[in-house]
Structure 1
Amino acid sequence: MPGDSEDPNADVQYHLEVGPDDVAETVLLPGNPERLEKIVAHWDDHELMAHHREYRTATGTYEGTPISVTSTGIGSPSAAIAVEELARVGCETFLRVGSCGAIQPEMSVGDLVITTGAVRQEGTSAEYVREDYPAVADHEVVSALIAAAERLGYEYHAGLTMSADSFYAGQGRAGYDGFEAAGSADLVDRLAEANVKNIEMEASAICTLASIYGLRAGAVCTVYADRDGGEFRTEGESRAAETASLAAHLLAKMDERKREAGVDRWHAGLAIED
């Protein structure tokens, strides 16, 4: 066995620079560090806890519920680091908050997509578990995100996501100087035929790691790119942020109802009142 070369500081995580007292049990995971300010704008209060590399963390409350946010940067490798280190300091629920490309004709720029499961086209999760292991969002998280979108009146779609390791070739876009990767010409069409809803870059790794570790995870993304209609606009970013924040609050209510009922998993028979 090789010697232990881990960071000797057990109290503060090496990449995120956070400790157990810095974060809540539920954390939102945007990619872009600049998105953090748009997320905490919906909260009652917040405090910036750490900022190192692409990882920026704040903790506060939403409707009285403790909540944190940590940016992950672009892609599954850095998102997996965030999940690993946040889990080590006590986080138990992970809600990716991002943007995506929609590939179904009924979807429009500004709509929300709530991930129920994901196609693992990224390579990070394959370094944890066999390739036929499913990337599945936790049903409590999915339920809370849907309930939040309904309460807020936002247009949303729920279904399968594809997570890629590349923004260009891996998502069927042309690379530099018109380069086309093998299979890219019909990638989007084949995914759409299989009823995949959207493409992004982190959800499958986050959901896979959460399942392996017995934690909860899910994702809500705003559609920026309408790949079917050929339109791209950075519109509706705050909708995903508000939906995820409300979902975190609803999950706390669901957990409270579970404790009252003496059960381990929330189900539709356990109504929550806010």
Structure 2
Amino acid sequence: MLPILKVPEGSISKYVLVCGDPARVLKIAERLDDFEEIGYNREYRTVKGHYRGVEVTIASHGVGVPGAALAFEELIKGGAKTIIRVGTCGSLDPNIRDGDLVVATGAVREDGLTDQLVPIGYPAIADFSVVRSLEVALLGVRDVNYKTGMVLTLSAFYPGVLDLPLKLYSETNVTAVEMECSALFVIASLRGIRAGAILAVDGVVIDYNPDEYDPHRTVVHKAVDKAITAALNAVVKMASEE
């Protein structure tokens, strides 16, 4: 038994979609041809089913890198060979607006955890085949705007005495900010599996005010639906190429 996810060892599919919110696990699972819940502990909800003939596991990892890293490690121990994060992000590019999508090619490691796993010079890079499969899958999604690029992974959500480095990384052409990708990419590289991410933009945050943050708008929900569609179809594409 995997101790954090509380699912049996060997029960995780080769293809896994992950998200922060346990409720989104069911939202994704409703797209499957069939599914069953195989574990639910703390913020970690895990279901398994089939999509267009491909077995896939859907799992939640909570908010932030430390807890998410636990989920990624156990999913890999359980059998995952490809993990795609289906999440949300804040845009650091004024040309990328609410409701757009971002396909992450890599992540800036401002996460507070991966520097305890690997040297600071070790890159957090998405697998090229996952990125390409997501891009191809997006060609079949109607009314979608997306950009492929690097994201910033931060551990802090609410600023303190120090400002969050959003304007700084915006000036370096980092596309968006989120809270888990760098750990996913580093851990996947260390463990020899593939990983990628597709993220729905829930606000432009270059001039960030957390009091104005509202991810529960229709435009965001529609973008998440499109990201789910692309991620599932990318899984089918990768499975067909094996």
CA, structure 1 residues 194+160, in 2 after alignment: closer, same or farther (shift >3 Å)? same
Query: Does 2:156 correspond to 1:166?
Result: yes
1:206 corresponds in structure 2 to 184
Q: Aligned AA for 1:155?
A: N
Q: 1:106: how far off?
A: 1.1
Query: Does 2:225 correspond to 1:238?
Result: yes
Q: 1:250: how far off?
A: 1.2
1:95 corresponds in structure 2 to 84
2:237 corresponds in structure 1 to 250
Quote the Cα distance in structure 1 between the aligned partners of 2:36 and 2:190: 31
- Equivalent position SS for 1:22: coil
1:267 corresponds in structure 2 to none
Q: 1:248: how far off?
A: 1.2
**Deviation digits for residues 13-72 of structure 1 (CA, Å, limit 9, x no counterpart):** 001011245321111110111111111122211111110111100001111111011100
2:106 corresponds in structure 1 to 117
Confirm or deny: 8 A CA contact 1:105 1:229 kept in the other structure: no
Q: 1:150: how far off?
A: 1.4
Q: Aligned AA for 2:110?
A: Q
Q: 1:233: how far off?
A: 4.4
- Structure 2, gaps ≥5 residues long: none
Query: Does 2:166 correspond to 1:188?
Result: yes
Confirm or deny: 8 A CA contact 2:150 2:175 kept in the other structure: yes
Q: 1:229: how far off?
A: 8.1
Task: Select between 146-155 and 224-233 the one with higher mean Cα deviation.
Answer: 224-233
Query: Does 2:94 correspond to 1:105?
Result: yes
Q: Aligned AA for 1:148?
A: A
Quote the Cα distance in structure 1 between the aligned partners of 2:224 and 2:232: 13
Confirm or deny: 8 A CA contact 1:124 1:205 kept in the other structure: yes
- Equivalent position SS for 1:99: strand
**TM-score using structure 2 length:** 0.91
Q: Aligned AA for 2:169?
A: L
62, 65, 69: which one aligns with 2:58: 69
Quote the Cα distance in structure 2 between the aligned partners of 1:99 and 1:189: 19
2:195 corresponds in structure 1 to 217
Confirm or deny: 8 A CA contact 1:111 1:223 kept in the other structure: yes
**TM-score using structure 1 length:** 0.81
Q: State the structure with more CA Rg.
A: 1
Q: Aligned AA for 2:149?
A: G
Q: 1:180: how far off?
A: 3.6
Confirm or deny: 8 A CA contact 1:59 1:67 kept in the other structure: yes
Confirm or deny: 8 A CA contact 1:25 1:93 kept in the other structure: yes
- Equivalent position SS for 1:196: coil
Task: Select between 131-140 and 243-252 the one with higher mean Cα deviation.
Answer: 243-252
Identity %: 35
**Deviation digits for residues 65-113 of structure 1 (CA, Å, limit 9, x no counterpart):** 1101110011111111111111112111111111110010111111111
Task: Select between 45-54 and 20-29 the one with higher mean Cα deviation.
Answer: 20-29
1:172 corresponds in structure 2 to none
Q: 1:192: how far off?
A: 1.3
**Poorly superposed stretches of 4+, deviation over 3 Å:** 228-234
Confirm or deny: 8 A CA contact 2:124 2:186 kept in the other structure: yes
**Deviation digits for residues 224-265 of structure 1 (CA, Å, limit 9, x no counterpart):** 11225878543122222221111111111222xxxxxxxxxx
Q: Aligned AA for 1:214?
A: G
Quote the Cα distance in structure 2 between the aligned partners of 1:247 and 1:180: 42
1:175 corresponds in structure 2 to none
Quote the Cα distance in structure 1 between the aligned partners of 2:116 and 2:215: 34
2:117 corresponds in structure 1 to 128
